[in-house]
């Protein structure tokens, strides 16, 4: 059993005041048999009322609006959770029985979304590469572990080379990325081999140095093991997910699990800062956050679009001035 205190701050700073800000939050730890949420507090600029609902995948989602002008939006999440070690799969059934079980899931509504393989121009290349990785005829769990290890060993953990929009083809060519890229690639490889797989957003809570993804939101994958259930695989750290991971959301891909997203009226120029601070069983004196955010993104004002009518008006004005 382990106890973690997790502080997650999201801050938007706008170049000029904005209005009519509507947001969706997926920052609520998911309780289950191995995770107990002891407390959770969300504080938002302006103290708007947050309406909660449960989405299609069982995630808790919050929505709120901030109508009045504001130049800054800060969303603070303060959670204390308790995790328990998982029971590892016994994997006693034969490979034939397990694959037959998985075959029957292809028409099960609860699994169809997690078996669908998005079209990719590199599918033939991926299958050729997997020919030397996967031990065909082996049990599904063994194949899933082999694929997770392949992603970990053959892709470099490197920040700044990808974004949330980077397609699977680019990740494959770059051979580098961050946790969400590792997760999306493993998702694709698992589904390509008829293994149900879903994306998970959350936190990794290290007890030792060298854990990739610590101090920020993290991403990994869950694959379905026949006669056992969903098992988490973290390709970024090449491990089976246990009591050091805390789930916030599950879905088909990142877009289903985005921690904070929304719209507003006003300037497009803004800065996004995300800070995550995790403590293992020790009190957080004064609720301090690290001096520097763990993630910063600056968005400049988009260029003004010019359509044909606007070009005509500009041309007409030039003619009148001559």
The candidate with the shortest Cα–Cα distance to 185, out of 133, 128, 235, is 235
Write the burial class of residue 109 (CB in 10 Å: 0-12 exposed, 13-18 middle, 19+ buried).
exposed
DSSP annotation of 183 reads H
- For residue 284, the model assigns a pLDDT of 43
Least confident of 83-87, 123-127, 204-208, 280-284: 280-284
Per-residue model confidence as pLDDT tens digits over 23-74: 999 999 999 999 999 999 999 999 999 999 999 999 999 999 999 999 999 9
pLDDT band at 139 (very low <50, low <70, confident <90, very high): very high
3-state class of 185 per DSSP?
A: helix
Question: 95-242: which CATH topology?
Answer: C8orf32 fold (3.10.620)
Highest-scoring range by mean pLDDT, 80-94, 196-210, 305-319 = 80-94
pLDDT at 237: 94
**Rounded CA separation 211/224 (Å):** 25
CA distance 221 to 148: 9
pLDDT tens sequence across 211-247: 786 767 999 999 999 999 999 999 999 999 999 999 9
The predicted structure's pLDDT at residue 206: 75
What residue segments make up the domains of the chain, in order of their start?
Answer: 2-83+258-299, 95-242
The CATH class, in words, for 2-83+258-299 is mainly beta
Mean pLDDT for all residues in the chain? 88
């Amino acid at each position: 059993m382990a106890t973690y205190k997790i502080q997650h701050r999201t801050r938007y700073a706008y170049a000029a005041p904005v209005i009519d800000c509507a947001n969706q939050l997926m920052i609520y730890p998911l309780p289950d048999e191995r995770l107990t949420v002891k407390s959770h507090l969300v504080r938002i600029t302006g103290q708007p009322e947050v309406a909660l609902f449960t989405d299609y995948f069982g995630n808790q989602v919050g929505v709120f609006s901030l109508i009045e002008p504001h130049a800054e939006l800060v969303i603070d999440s303060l959670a204390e959770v308790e995790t328990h070690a998982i029971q590892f799969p016994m994997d006693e059934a034969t490979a034939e029985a397990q694959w037959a079980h998985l075959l029957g899931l292809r028409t099960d509504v609860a699994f169809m979304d997690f078996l669908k393989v998005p079209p990719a121009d590199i599918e033939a290349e991926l299958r050729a590469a997997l020919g030397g990785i996967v031990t065909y005829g082996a049990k599904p769990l063994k194949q899933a572990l082999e694929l997770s290890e392949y992603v970990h060993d053959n892709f470099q953990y490197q920040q700044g080379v990808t974004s949330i929009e980077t397609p699977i083809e680019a990740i494959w060519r770059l051979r580098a990325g961050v946790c969400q890229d590792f997760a999306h690639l493993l998702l694709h490889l698992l589904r390509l081999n008829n293994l149900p797989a879903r994306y998970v957003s959350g936190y990794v809570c290290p007890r030792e140095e060298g854990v990739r993804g610590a101090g920020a939101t993290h991403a990994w994958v869950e694959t379905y093991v026949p006669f056992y259930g969903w098992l988490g695989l973290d390709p970024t750290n090449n491990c089976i997910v246990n009591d050091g991971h805390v789930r916030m959301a599950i879905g088909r891909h990142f877009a289903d699990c985005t921690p904070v997203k929304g719209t507003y009226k006003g300037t497009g120029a803004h800065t996004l800062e995300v800070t995550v601070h995790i403590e293992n069983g020790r009190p957080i004196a004064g609720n301090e956050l690290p001096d520097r955010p763990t993630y910063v993104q600056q968005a400049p004002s988009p260029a003004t679009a010019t359509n044909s009518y606007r070009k005509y008006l500009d041309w007409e004005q030039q003619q009148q001035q001559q």
